[in-house]
Every structure is written in C-alpha cells, then in structure tokens.
Structure 1
Amino acid sequence: MSDRTDDKPPAARKRLGSIVIDRRPLKIPAFRRLWISSLVTAIGSQLTAVAVPKQVFDITGSSAYVGLTGVFGLVPLLIFGIWGGAIADTVDRRKLLVVTNTGIAVTACLLWAQAYFDVGSVWVVLSLLAVNQAFFAVNMPTRNAVVARLVPTELLPSASALTGTMTTFGAVFGPLAAGALLPIVGLSVLYLVDSVALLVVVWAVWRLPALPPQDGRVRRAGLRDISDGFRYLGAQKILLASFVVDIVAMVAGMPRALFPEMAERTFGDPAGGGLALGWLYAAIPLGAMLLSLMSGWASRVSRHGVVVVVAIAVWGLAIAGFGLSQALWLSILFLVVAGAADMASAIFRMAILQTAATDEMRGRTQGVFTVVVAGGPRVADLTHGWAAAGVGTGAAATGGGLLVLVGLLVAVLLIPAFWRYRAPVTSGNVSDDS
C-alpha cells in the first residue's frame, strides 16, 4: 500500500479535528470535573426554570404572578453577580464554589420539600427562587474565573466553546425533559431530580485544586473592591467594548418576547400553544449548540475582536430577516443562524475576558459578564414588548436587528482597538494540580 494511502486516515482525522469541537481542555482533569459539574447544573437549572413558573401558575392561576418569577430571579442576579465577582477575587475560588453550590443544592431541596408537602404558598416558592438565584449569581462568575487558572491561554477559546455547548445543551434539552417528565412524575419529583444532581455537583467542585488569590492574600470583599472593579473596567477599553457590543446585541436584537404572539397570529398556533411556539423558543439555543459542536477552528483564530464584531453583525442581520419572514421554516432558519452567531460571539468574548483581564480582577469582570448576560435579554423582553404593541411584531424584530448593526458600528468607531484585538501568544497560568 502506498504512503499516500497510509496518510489518508490521519489526514481525515486532522480535517475532522479542524471542524468538530476541540476536546483538548477536557484532558485536564480539573477542567473536566468543572465542566461536568457545569453540565449537571445547566440541565438542573432548566428543570427548575420550568418547574417554578408552572408551580406558581398552578397555585395562583395568574400569569401576572408568573411574571414575578422574572423579578425574583433578576434582582438577586444583578446584586449578587457584582458582589460575587468581588468575593471571587479575594478568597479561594474552590472554597467559594463549594459554598455556593451547597447553597444552590439546599434551596433546590427546599423547593422539593415545599412541593412534596404541598405547602401551596406562592411567596415561599418565590423566596426560595430568589435565594437560589443569589447563590447562583455568586457561583457563575467564580466558575468562569476559575477556567483561566486551569486551562492554558491557547486553549481558552476551546474551553469557552465546551462551556457554551454545555449551556446550550441544557437550554435545549432541559425544558424538553421537564415537559416530558411533568405529566408523568409531577413537580416534586422534578425538583428532587434537580436536588440530587446538584448534590453530586458539590462533590465534583470539592475535588478541584485549591485556587487562592495569586498574591496569597485572602480577605473579605467590600464596597471598595466593587468600585475598584468598575474603575478597572472603565480603564480597559477592550473589556468595556466586549460588554458594550453584547448589550447592543441583546437589548436591541433579542426577540423572544415576541414569540408567543408571532406563534399564534403569524404562524397559526392554537391559543393554548403549539408546535410553532416550541420551535421558536428552541431555535436560537439549537443554533448555538450546533455552532459549539463544530467549533474546532476556534483555538486557531487570533483575531478575536474581528470575530466578535462579525458574529454580532450576522446576529443582527438574521434577526432582521426573522422579522421579515412569514414562513415558519424560514423564521426558524433565521433564528438558528442567529443562535450560531451568538455562540461565536460568546466563545470569543469569554476568551477575551479570560485573557485581557488580570487574575486579581477576573472575578469582578466575570461578575459584570453574568449581569450583562442575564440582564440584557430581560431588558429586551420589555423593549420588544412595547415596540410590538406600537408597530407590530415583525417591525419590532426587524427594527431591532437593524439597530444592532447601527449600535455595533458606533461601538467599533468609538473603540477601534476592539476590532484590532488579537489573542496573546503566551500561555496563561495553569494550576499545578490540574
């Protein structure tokens, strides 16, 4: 057999490796444990995200009370996301993960208990949701800040893609699992499944290596640490731009508040909901998941700023196309493309945050990232709802997509260094005990 023939299998594997998601970060034991624990948390959080509104509606029969779940979930994220980032910069991040994951697991157990014993109080459910989200808000920036201590710099885009795959997997399949299980096992068992999974997560983060501040100073976080973080962000144009462009993309372009009305009035769903509604909600996470699974190229890209800008431009164009489309299949296609573009943006924005921020500020920047990611789409729900009431759903979506392009252009003109940003060529710090 010729040498050329012998080379075909390795060449084929190389081509495949350049397309499918880069799994090299998973060879690092500590990152693998963190990733698996994040996967469990993502799916479990989606089970709770379905169970809590369902229980609130069952108790009250009111969509207005269901709307309160957004308030009780967002306010703790806004407050504790910022504070949690400051704490993550001043203590051993492994210990903080253990504490916050324990808190998330305990509140999940309490949600199961109130459902099992049929307490029937909407305020108990909402209060437990708020406490759960407070722990989650501290946990997320800490979890994200840990990655750069476990993974070399050149693998950070791949690690971000793996994390994105986990998140979108939970966003797609968590609600589907909840919808399938609810009629069979009921709310209390759904909460119980989440509780057991979260207890396993506590064990996984316990196995991580110690991750104290690199200067060795463990102390209490105060308001000065938070203000220092904002001053740091104000002076770091690259980091500031990464947040600005994401806010532009989400606030102007996220159309999910329009889905219920469009499903019924544009695509012919029955009043109680149907196939179109499910596809509209699933399409963006589906596109994000497909892109992350085919992200083997990410670790070889150095022009991170260019990729983020182009990805957000594609997002805006796809959302504008979604608003103009009248066929369900075409609308879903536009949303899948938008989801893929959003994931490409997220992969490289996360990599920028991991590399452009110093380790002593990484928790605080991740705290702001958590607030932006959580808050932007919720603000979009409000703005798109108001816009649709005035000009209609299609015009609201299309106008939002076009506003993304305008806002993105302004941001790049004001902070041109973001467009020019390249990934650093040196390796980052990796924990010795990884």
Structure 2
Amino acid sequence: MSNRKIDMKKISLVLIIITLMLSLAGCRDKEYTVTFDTDGGEVIAPLTVTAGESVSAMPTPEKEGYAFLGWFDETQTEYTNQTLIEKSLTLHARWEILEFTVTFKAFDGTVMETQEVAYETAAIAPEPAAVLGHAFSGWDQDFSEVKSDLTVTALYLINVYEVTFLDHDETVLKTETVEYGADATPPTDPVREGYFFRGWNQDFQDVTRDLTVLTLYDQDDLGVIYVLEGDAYTASGYDGTNPAVVILGTYNGLPVTAIGDGAFLNNYDITSVSLPEGITAIGNQAFSGCAYMTSVNIPVSVQTIGTEAFNACTMLSSIVIPTPVIGEAAFSGCTGMTSITLESTVTSIGAWGFWGNSKLLTIFVPQSVTTLGKHVFSWCQKLNYIYTPSANLSNLSTMLLACENIYVHYAVVGQD
C-alpha cells in the first residue's frame, strides 16, 4: 500500500513537470506582429517578432522632403533595434521637414538675400535692384515649391530706343532701334544742292532715350571751280572756305563727271568731301596732301582713281573702294588708315597703291582683282593678314610674291 502511494506521488510530480515544460515552451514560441505607420513615407510590410526579442533590422523609411527621426508607439516611447517586443503593436514614424537654402543674386552675381525655406514652401523674392537702362523681367527659375538648394538670379532686359534722322524737309533719312548706352549710326551724309551738310543738331552716342535728330546745313557758297569739258563739267579747283566740301551732281544743268588733276592738292582746310553718283574719274593727285580730310565717299560710278589721288591723306581712317582701276600710289602714305574695303568690282591696283598705310591690320582682296603693282603693300608694317576667297588663295599668293613688298609681314588666308 505504501509503495502504491509512492508511485502516485512520482506520477503526480512527473505530470507537474511536464505541464510546466509545456507552459514554458508555449511562452517561448509566442509571436507578435509589428506594424509600421510611415505617415506618408514609403510602405513597409509588417514584421513578425518572437516574444521577448527585438527587431534586429529596424527599417529606415524614406519620405521626400523629410528626415527620419525614429519609430514611436502610442505612448511616444521610441523603439530601436534594441527594444524588446512584448506585444503586437503599431510603430509610428516621426519625421522632421527639411529646409533648403535659397540664394537670390543680382544680375551681376552679387548676393541680394539668402533664405532658409521648408520643403515645398515658397521663398519670398526680394525687391529687385534698379539697373540703369534695364527693365527687370523676372527670375531665372521657379521658387514657389522649393525642393532643393537654389540659386535664383534676377533677369533684366536692356531698354531699347528709337532714333530717327530727319532731313531739312522732314523726310525720314533713317530710323534705327538702339539699345541703352549704344551709339546710333547716322545715315550717309545727305546731299542738298546749294548747301553743304554741317552735321546733326544733337549727339546720338550713348543713347538713353528716344531721339529725333535733324540735319544742319549751311548755304554753300560753292567754292568749287567747275570747268566745262564737252558736255559735262569737271571739278578742277577749290577756293572756298567750307571744310565740308560737296561736289554737285549737276552744274548749270549739266552733269559733273570728274575730279580734275590736283583739284584739291595740299588743301589743309577741308575735312570731308562728298562726291555724287555720276562721277566717273578722280584725277591724279586730286586730293593728295589733304592732311586733315577725315572722310570721303567714292561712288560706284567712279571707274578710275588716278596716280597719288589720295596720297598722304593722313587723317583718312577708312575707305570703301568700288572703283575697278586704282592708280599708282593712289592711297599711299595714308598713315591713319585702319579700314580699306575693296568691293568685288575692283580689278587692278597700281604700284605703291597702299604703300605706307602703317596702321592697317587686315584687308580683304576680292577674286576680281587680277593685277597688283609693285610694292602695293610695302611699309604696311602692321598688316598681319590678307584675306581672299579660298578659291583665289593660290592666285593671290603668286601675285603678292611678284609685288616684292618690303617692311611688311603678312599671312594670306582663304576666307569663304
């Protein structure tokens, strides 16, 4: 009987141990679900975690425009990868909105203002600076929903003005649109028979407003001596005092077709000469030694320019030449010449044609030129480049070699 009681106690003890073990095993195997509320961030799937363990790889979500601060439960307790999970729960992401730097710059690159702006909010533009002669037109990029650091630069449009040139009878000679601070370009000096053009009634450089510019004339006392040769006149001399000489297109009802030999030779008083269409010849030494002449036009009607016609016109800085035949030394010694335009009608340039034009840097020789005289560019000491159409490069190089130019070093370059 006593043995039976002992067996029953053993059986009860074994049952108690088994029950405890099963209970403990049940506790160890219990699992909880952790749900993640990202509050607008990327979606993260729920995780299953064994009771009493932590989420070893706690996810780090992303949300545009925000910095992730961590996971928190309903009691604002933070959960990390070290926090033990004791129940199923939802963790809530906590975010901090990002701020970006918006830098406003003036048109010249100087910083006007710097602002710290929250994600997807607008920066507030500063008052744009006033820029003389320009109108503010906006900013170079949008800043109404800032999502990154920005540099915003002010944009301006330059003001434009209208400059109108009127003749004595209010005929519009030219209308030009000019940007602020730029110079207007006047039309070709007008010709009014019986008068000489003296200039314009106001300055049109550095334009800052709309302008109407009027011609100024003085009545011409003629001064030019005309000689009848056949059925046309030749301007053969000058005894006037006007520095701006206008050669008439007609005289006594007949055309003026030529400037005679030595007509203005060594005249130090004249400063400009206006030649009319219809002139066909400019004689030998016609304007030679006119040291203070700064401008002269050569009409397309001129067919020949004589020997030394413009020799030693030292203040003449530019010339456009349409004339087929340019005589020997025609423009020699023009030491102030910086620009020579040879039109495609030029065929022949005589010996010493541009000798001693010491300020000339470049010149374009058209393919129409078939004859170059000796030393045509000698002593053009600053002449660096002679341009010509590429198809004419070899031919021109050969002609220049035969010219035996001295005291000049240039390259012949093809240009299309």
TM-score (norm 1): 0.19
Q: Which has the larger radius of gyration?
A: 2
Structure showing the higher strand proportion among its residues? 2
